[in-house]
Amino acid sequence: MNRELQAEYDFVILGSNFENSVLAGALSRVGKRVILIEKNPYYGSNNATFCFSELRSFSKQEHPKENESAVAPFDAANIVKLLNQPIPRRTVIWDKEEFDVKEEEDAIPTPVSESDITIIPTREMWKIPSICCWEESVDESLLPSLEKNNRRYNIDLTSAMLLSNGGIVDVLAKSGLGQYCQFYPFYGVNAVISQNETPILVKLPCSRQEVFRSTAVSLKDKRFLTQFIQFVGDSCLSTEEERRSINDVELKQGRSLTRPQNKKTLAVDVAKYEKALFSEFLEKEFHITGVLKEMIVYSICLSGSEDTVLTEANRCVGGGLIIVEFAPLLTPEGLRRVQEFIRSLNVYGTTPFLYPIYGGGDVLQSFCRINNVYAGITMLQTDVVGVVTKEEKVVGVEIANDEVHTLIRCKHVIAGDEYPLEVGGKPVEMAGKVAHGVYVVRGDNKGEGDNKGEGEKKELREIVVVPATSEHRAVYALVMGDEFKMTPAGEFVMYVYLEVANTEETEVKKQYRLMDACVEQYLNLLHSTVPIVTLYSCHYLDVSYACHPPANFTHFPVRLDSCYLYMDHRIERVRRLFEQLCPGLPFMPQTHSSQETEKEDDVAQELMLFDQVLEKKEEQSSFMAKVLTRTLRYRFNALPEKMKQSVLSFYRDGNPSYVSYADTTLFEKELSSIVMQLISTILRKANQGKLFISKVGTSAYEVEKTWEKEDRLKRWFRSLDSNLLSCDDCIIIEKILKREVIDITEVDFSLYYSHVRNMRISDNVIRDGSEEVQKQCKRCKNPTMLKKSLKEYNPVSTHDEIWVNKDSVDYLVQFTCPKCGYSFRSEYWAE
């Protein structure tokens, strides 16, 4: 079925990879007419996330992008007819309360003839593979197990991390897209260093404590490292006055690693090293050599070697050639990368890196969703049959699929790697090459984590670096356990990257074997309690192309920086292109909901000083209000200092109270602030640190789009374990949320204390005013229990420190079963 042209578009975007998806969302967001064409039946192009069967089909080149439409291309006469048709004009009125489409008078295009246009057939031209040299290894005996868990695998073709304080997090938060994505932090950055020809795993210290605890760095080198980090931290600030007066509180948890408060700055003349190698700058100014230099160059700067990095050249918007070359890692570039690293330290975890749960496909799909929401169009499984040019500018793109065959009129075309357009007989050139490896491993997916030295193991989430040698460039691996939902339980995935200079088959195979050796070396260094087995592995070459397109055809290679593993670097490239295409327009402007949330956050931060205000207000309040105030304040003050700071920082970073501040009294605002901060701690513990990049309250629990804010919170309360939150806490907070509590004295505190008395805190602590429940052993049902009074109160669990007011405990007794030895304690409350 043919559908003729109905309208023209400002931008036609070919391919739904990460960069194109972000650009489509940004252009639609500012009112541009955008259509996104994807030849595959899935989002992401070569940045897609696959389950196991889809990955194997892709590896065998059986994926649907080879299935082309059988329709014949339009001839010149049909194309001229379509281009000369009137262009329908519509005005879309869309705000929070109104949606309307007003038809306007059709626009009459400038007439064209067959001699004016040039038709460039693209089917054959765009069969050039951007992923090639595929190699797969799988044990046939393990295939049934892999296929059984097919849908539990979420494997990224090309993966990239996010900086915790980088541009992508800021865009996700401001645009409201964070509610569609979830992220986890990495626990460590490790380098495989050869020491006396024996490989060891050296962890990059990301805090002052880790610096002094590290055994791989000498005491003298530790001093050099802290001086260098202080210098880089100071260089992030704009003026000398800011450097001298900077307060530690503004530097988050990693402040001591960056600089002590009011310490004098180091005077280093960076200008004379502008053309010098970064490694030379480290050696001459800070005496950093050996293992420490390798850790900075590879683990922080993510450089392919000490001397060179992969860079872009000859970039321009349209009709330009973008190529990749190995350029020297100069001092300004090295310092810029270290600054990016330091700015994101200790924001959400020890390291500055985050990675999306379920793979990176969810992130790019969230931007495609923005494109569709703001009147953009996305067409999957659609081939681009040809491109029509007039006076060396693109005027139309011919597309076809099983249902549609039409010509799209456009003002500008943006294409990714898979669409290099050559005009005038100029050749398509290979621009960049990166070898990838994916390894699915069964084994103990626990690492040393943040508490190495304390014996505690955490989920395996780390970045591993094998430094460059004279034979190869640096090898990078992202290691992620099953907590990322990319593999079933008990397995983990490794994404391995290596820059390649030579694409000859023998040389590529050699690089694949090098990656295998590095992975095997790393797995041997893991202290696994179970045998480690590689279930599946594959290798492929990711290739970028450069071309000479027409003036309004922007070929935008997307994988020039695959070994520069930050997703933030990619979004900055998109931002620069957007500013050239739409000068003066905002990139992903803030949504109405996120603006309201920021106002709530500002109010919440002011309420952090609640303690002093409560003391003043307490004198003017009723007795019942005083009791509740003291109880809540004690609960907060009884927290360990670290947990108290955790509550404050977690609440400040984006977990606003859902109380309507306009409808409540000052006292209720302060009360709600305390309650919500305490609950933030509980929710944070219950969610085991799961991160949601959003400022709409989603930091604490999973978003359900159909729920209202208050209903979400109340449903979460009802699902909480009573060991974490008493029933009456839920009742009081629900009343506040419903705004039923106009005067705080309306709360029935007799009910409150009856709940507290009967609340079971742990297996060996029961709080109850009566002795009947304590006359029988719960383990062996022995009716006789030995009773012993304890002279002074001794907390037995973290819950006691949080929930118990020592002044209100009359005495504490211990009951012991003489038959089985089971014992528990009971607290008696003063009436």
Q: Is 120's pLDDT higher than 90?
A: no
DSSP codes joined into one string, 679-710: HHHHHHHHTTT-B---SSSTTSS---TTS-HH
Mean pLDDT of 770-799: 54
Task: Provide the b/e sequence for 60-91 (b: ≥16 CB within 10 Å).
Answer: eeebebeeebeeebbeeeebbebbeeeeeeee
Question: Can you give the pLDDT at residue 314?
Answer: 43
Question: Can you give the pLDDT at residue 177?
Answer: 83
Question: Can you give the pLDDT at residue 49?
Answer: 93
Q: How far apart are CA 677 and CA 646, in angstroms?
A: 10
Instruction: Using pLDDT thresholds of 50, 70 and 90, give the confidence band for residue 139.
Output: confident
Q: How far apart are CA 35 and CA 13, in angstroms?
A: 6
> What SS3 state is found at 182?
coil
Q: How far apart are CA 627 and CA 645, in angstroms?
A: 25
DSSP state of 566: B
Lowest mean pLDDT among 201-205, 390-394, 807-811: 807-811
Instruction: Using pLDDT thresholds of 50, 70 and 90, give the confidence band for residue 51.
Output: very high
**Is 0.75 topped by the overall pTM?**
no
DSSP codes joined into one string, 193-219: EEETTEEEEEEPP-SHHHHHH-SSS-H
Task: Give residue 267's Cα distance to chain centre.
Answer: 36
DSSP codes joined into one string, 599-656: HHHHHHHHGGGHHHHHHHHHTTS-HHHHHHHHHHHHHHHTS-HHHHHHHHHHHHTT--
Please tell me which residue, 604 or 552, carries the higher pLDDT value. Answer: 552
Structure confidence by residue, pLDDT tens digits, 19-28: 999 999 999 9
Tokens representing residue 204 in the block = 């990059």
Structure confidence by residue, pLDDT tens digits, 74-119: 888 888 888 888 777 766 665 545 556 667 777 777 888 878 888 8
Q: Is 346's pLDDT higher than 70?
A: yes
Mean pLDDT of 374-401: 88
Q: Is 775's pLDDT higher than 70?
A: no
**Residue 517 neighbours by CB under 8 Å, 6+ apart:** none
Evaluate whether 337 touches 197 at the Cβ level (below 8 Å): no
Lowest mean pLDDT among 52-61, 175-184, 471-480, 718-727: 718-727
Q: How far apart are CA 521 and CA 475, in angstroms?
A: 12
Question: Can you give the pLDDT at residue 148?
Answer: 92
User: Is 809 buried (19+), middle (13-18) or exposed (0-12) by CB count in 10 A?
Assistant: middle
Question: Can you give the pLDDT at residue 445?
Answer: 64
Question: Can you give the pLDDT at residue 780?
Answer: 76
- Contacts of residues 221-224 at CB distance under 8 Å and 24 or more positions apart, as own/partner, are 221/288, 221/290, 221/291, 221/292, 224/286, 224/287, 224/288, 224/292
Q: Is 767's pLDDT higher than 60?
A: no
Q: Is 760's pLDDT higher than 60?
A: no
Mean pLDDT of 248-265: 49
Q: Is 430's pLDDT higher than 60?
A: yes
One-letter identity of residue 765:
V
Question: Can you give the pLDDT at residue 790?
Answer: 52
Instruction: Using pLDDT thresholds of 50, 70 and 90, give the confidence band for residue 789.
Output: low
Distances (CA, A) of 687 to 179, 349, 684, 702, 729: 16, 15, 5, 9, 19
Question: Can you give the pLDDT at residue 556?
Answer: 77
Structure confidence by residue, pLDDT tens digits, 208-255: 788 888 888 888 888 888 888 888 877 765 434 444 444 443 444 444
Instruction: Using pLDDT thresholds of 50, 70 and 90, give the confidence band for residue 761.
Output: very low
Instruction: Using pLDDT thresholds of 50, 70 and 90, give the confidence band for residue 69.
Output: low
Instruction: Using pLDDT thresholds of 50, 70 and 90, give the confidence band for residue 618.
Output: very low
Question: Can you give the pLDDT at residue 703?
Answer: 30
Mean pLDDT of 67-79: 72
Element housing 354 (H / E): strand 353-356
Instruction: Using pLDDT thresholds of 50, 70 and 90, give the confidence band for residue 517.
Output: very high
Assigned CATH topology for domain 217-354:
Guanine Nucleotide Dissociation Inhibitor; domain 1 (1.10.405)
Instruction: Using pLDDT thresholds of 50, 70 and 90, give the confidence band for residue 621.
Output: very low
Structure confidence by residue, pLDDT tens digits, 531-587: 899 999 999 988 877 777 888 888 877 655 545 678 888 888 899 999 999 999 999
Domain boundaries defined on the chain: 8-51+69-122+358-428+547-581, 217-354, 592-750, 760-829
Q: Which among 42-56, 324-338, 597-611 has the top mean pLDDT? A: 42-56
Instruction: Using pLDDT thresholds of 50, 70 and 90, give the confidence band for residue 706.
Output: very low
Q: Is 797's pLDDT higher than 70?
A: no
Q: Is 763's pLDDT higher than 60?
A: no
- Contacts of residues 718-721 at CB distance under 8 Å and 24 or more positions apart, as own/partner, are 720/682, 720/686
Q: How far apart are CA 827 and CA 804, in angstroms?
A: 10
Question: Can you give the pLDDT at residue 542?
Answer: 85
One-letter identity of residue 306:
E
Report the relative pairing of strands 49-50 and 117-121 from DSSP bridges. unpaired
Q: How many CA atoms lie within 13 A of 732 on its CB side?
A: 28
Q: Domain 8-51+69-122+358-428+547-581 is of which CATH architecture? A: 3-Layer(bba) Sandwich (3.50)
* Count, residues in the chain: 831
Q: Is 671's pLDDT higher than 50?
A: no
Question: Can you give the pLDDT at residue 513?
Answer: 94
